[in-house]
Structures are given as C-alpha cells and as structure tokens.
Structure 1
Amino acid sequence: MALHWNAPAERWQQTTGPGIVVRGFTTVPKSSQLWVAGIATHGDLVPAVTRFPGTSRR
C-alpha cells in the first residue's frame, strides 16, 4: 500500500503504488518531491526510479 499526505484534509490517503519494489527513497530539500528507487514489479529484476512531484505548500 502506498500513502500520501493530503495537506488540505490533514490526513494520509491511499494512493496508487509506485509499481516497484522499493529499495530506497529520498526527498528533495526545500521541495515536496520524492524519489524512489528499486526493482520494477513487472519484468525480471529491471531497475526502476520513480519521481513523485508532491504538492507545494502555499
């Protein structure tokens, strides 16, 4: 299960999974971006990197 923070509703919500078996992740300082690295759930040990843009605070 993948969750994301819904700031206006002030709660976590279920979201679409990244499509990879997560091996590591990091955020981008001063942004809402999240980078996820791992192995694709489809294929045979295919490396994958996915970026989630997030939402900016205003």
Structure 2
Amino acid sequence: MVQLIAPKSKPAVDNVVDLMEALRRSVRQKAAPARAAKPAKKLRKAVARLIDLLVPRHR
C-alpha cells in the first residue's frame, strides 16, 4: 500500500525582513534629530543677534 505524504507548507513571505532596509531606516531615524538641531541653533543665534541690535542696553 502506498501512502501519500502531503508536502510541507512553505513559510509566509510576509515575515521576511530586509535587513539592509531596516538598517537604513534606523540610521535615518538616529541622524534626523542631529540634523534638525543644527538649524534650530542657527535660528537661535540669529534671533539673539537681532535682539541685541533692536533692544538698547543700559551701559
């Protein structure tokens, strides 16, 4: 008597992770706050210079 063996099911492709893409996203997320802080620092210095020009100091 011959028994039929069902083929093993293949894992779903949905759970495969692209490691390079995950690494790129991680690096972008960590680098974004550093890039965002630089313009804020420049803006703060520009505002401080404007205040120094516009607000007279008592000497």
Report the TM range for the smaller structure's normalisation: under 0.3
Of the two structures, which has the highest relative contact order with CA contacts closer than 8 Å and spacing of 6 or more? 1
- TM-score under structure 1 normalisation? 0.18
Is the strand fraction higher in 1 or 2? 1
- TM-score under structure 2 normalisation? 0.18
- Rg larger in structure: 2
